[in-house]
Amino acid sequence: KAAENGATGVELDLEFTADGVPVLMHDDTVERTTDGSGRLRDLTFDEIRKLNASAKHRLWRKFQGERVPTLKEAVVESLQHNLIIYFDVKGHANQAVHALKQLYLEFPRLYNSSIVCSFMPDVVYKMRQADKNVVTALTYRPWQLSHLGNGTPRFDSFWKHYWYMMMDVILDWSLHSFLWRLCGVSAFLIQKNFVSQDYVRHWSSKGIQVVAWTVNTFAEKRYYETVLEATYITDSLVEDCDPHY
């Protein structure tokens, strides 16, 4: 459906079941996106397969009874529609790298039509070590360690909160000074509120593309297309959606 609506790419959130099957899931629990409950790592693939993946989606009436796809199923579908794939790796660096490496060997087209992204620098670094021909990107949101996406502090403890704020400062400096080069990335996926013309120009001068997420209103999309001339990720191409952090 995304391809029909004019999308040029799709993001695939990679996670793993209790028995090690790579599947698509945004969270480490299943409550928010399915009609099930529990932690993904505690559920087998057979248990995951019984869940309705469209149960909590705003368009569930149009897509009823959808099942949680395996990573391979999603890749095959995406390639059939000539979509660029953004593999969003949540963690499990060694497991994810192994699964992705097998996919690139099975589907060589992925070398020219996909990018492996993660908030975790070790995931990106290990992916490039495993296969230097894979295109990679670092995903980033300022203050991501100390604050949730909506700006709420992650921790109630005063000392813990400020400790993680300090870690955020170090992470920001590290990403922009040496980690991008160490990890060998080709792009930066950054939260939309922190993208500017200067930021796009800065990375462009280093040969790095900036991709913003998640741009969900028509006004924002026009700004990214006409002013910033930058790629963006959105939840819908045909309607305004709620803000996504």
Cα–Cα dist 224/202, whole Å: 16
Domains (range + CATH), the chain: 3-14+69-232 (3.20.20.190)
Q: Average pLDDT by consecutive 10-residue portion of the chain (245 residues)?
A: 92 97 96 94 97 84 88 98 97 97 98 98 98 98 95 96 98 98 98 96 97 95 96 92 68
DSSP helix/strand/coil, 213: strand
The DSSP bridge partners found for residue 187 are 137, 209
Does the global pTM surpass 0.75?
Answer: yes
56, 32 in Cβ contact below 8 A?
yes
Cα–Cα dist 9/101, whole Å: 20
Exposed (0-12), middle (13-18) or buried (19+): which is 153, by Cβ within 10 Å?
Answer: middle
For residue 78, the Cα-to-chain-centroid distance in whole angstroms is: 15
Cα–Cα dist 68/48, whole Å: 7
Cα–Cα dist 97/116, whole Å: 10
| Lateral strand order in the sheet of 84-89 | 22-24, 9-16, 84-89, 114-118, 136-140, 187-191, 209-213, 231-232
- The set of residues, in sequence order, having a beta carbon less than 8 Å from that of 190 and lying 6+ positions away, is 139, 140, 141, 199, 210, 211, 212, 213
pLDDT computed for residue 203 by the predictor: 98
Kindly give the pairing relationship between strand 136-140 and strand 187-191: parallel
pLDDT computed for residue 245 by the predictor: 56
Cα–Cα dist 183/179, whole Å: 6
194, 215 in Cβ contact below 8 A?
no
Cα–Cα dist 187/166, whole Å: 25
Would you state the structure tokens that stand for residue 18, as one six-digit string?
A: 């209790």
pLDDT computed for residue 242 by the predictor: 74
pLDDT computed for residue 244 by the predictor: 61
What values do phi and psi take at 121, rounded to 5?
-60, -30
pLDDT computed for residue 145 by the predictor: 97
pLDDT computed for residue 243 by the predictor: 66
23, 51 in Cβ contact below 8 A?
no
pLDDT computed for residue 1 by the predictor: 84
